[in-house]
Amino acid sequence: MTITQLQYVLAVAEYKNFTLAAEKCFVTQPTLSMQVQKLEDELDIQIFDRSKKPISVTEVGKKIVAQAKNIVNEADRIKDVVDQEKGFIGGDFTLGIIPTIMPTLLPMFLKTFINKYPKVNLIIKEQSTENLIRNIQDGHLDAAIAATPLEIEFIKERPLYYEPFVGYVPKDHRLRALKEITPDDLNVSDILLLQDGHCFREGVLNLCKTPKKSGEEHFQLQSGSFETLINLSNEGLGMTLLPFLNTLELDTTKKENLKFFKEPSPAREVSLIYHKSELKIQITEALRDVISGVIRGAIKFQDVKIISPLNK
């Protein structure tokens, strides 16, 4: 039994296809198939049921796959121990970021990070929170940046900053005359929201006191763009809420439509999240230090109330 054989087993279990698993492992399909068969012969059990399409994992195979994940992770930790002992910060590091954070945060820290840690090959993927969680569990992401708390057993959360919600209130809106707004002022029936699947949308819905009644909608919007919400708001179709960092690059005319909340301001907690196994933790810590450093100058401390990103 070898680590390589266990890695091949994990690939087949994930992709349910020997050819695709071989491509992901950068080996030929006959090589991968032979090594998996060799392991099955050694253990005298069948890990995969090849008679089904797609290939399925047998009951005993599921136990083997679960143990294989632990063994491969622990083997990876050996290299981590050596890297940490040598003070080495480098190698591939795959980072996921949710769509409502990526456009504003990434430009703030990326150049600083790659200049400070040139030996790290940072691979960045924009994914929904649901996909981030699944890919952290499966080992496809080393870490991610998402709105928290998530309260998931196998994930560690390290808060980076607290980002206030800001109202975008156009002319002639009922809240326009207010100097500051409160959650009690909000009515979900006249708030433009991101499409389903965005945790910022769920945060806004959790903030609003008044539920939307069926039949009130005059149109249905499915957009993941804050810019689209702002443009529709300017057309008199309602107000919207923005994360604070999304307001920094607005032009002067649009900034006149911003309404800040009375303290404690509703805010989202943005955290660096990663598997509790803490693989590549030295790179994770370096990333956290860089982001925390650059964000201090953008978001001043204020009294905030954290709004859950989940619809609880």
Average pLDDT value for the chain:
89
Q: Per-residue pLDDT tens for 182-221? A: 999 998 888 888 877 678 888 888 888 665 554 455 545 5
- pTM for the model stands at 0.80
pLDDT of residue 277: 87
Q: Per-residue pLDDT tens for 152-178? A: 999 999 999 999 999 999 998 999 999
Residue 7's alpha-carbon distances to 12, 65, 67, 144, in angstroms, are: 9, 10, 11, 23
The burial class, CB within 10 Å (0-12 / 13-18 / 19+), for 224 is middle
pLDDT of residue 300: 76
Q: How confident is the model at residue 301 (pLDDT cuts 50, 70, 90)?
A: low
User: Which numeric CATH code is attached to 3-84?
Assistant: 1.10.10.10
**163-266 shares the fold of 88-161+269-301:** yes
The superfamily in CATH containing domain 88-161+269-301 is Periplasmic binding protein-like II (3.40.190.10)
Q: Which CATH number fits domain 163-266: 3.30.830.10, 1.10.240.10, 3.30.70.1350, 3.40.190.10?
A: 3.40.190.10
In sequence order, the 6+-apart residues with CB closer than 8 A to the CB of 136 are 96, 143, 144, 154, 155, 273, 274, 275
Q: Which residues pair with 124 in a beta bridge?
A: 95
Is 225 a residue whose pLDDT tops 80?
A: yes
Is 5 a residue whose pLDDT tops 90?
A: yes
What are the sequence ranges of the domains in the chain?
3-84, 88-161+269-301, 163-266
pLDDT of residue 223: 63
Q: How many CB atoms lie within 10 A of CB 234?
A: 14
Q: Per-residue pLDDT tens for 65-112? A: 999 988 988 888 788 788 777 878 888 999 999 999 999 999 999 999
pLDDT of residue 194: 85
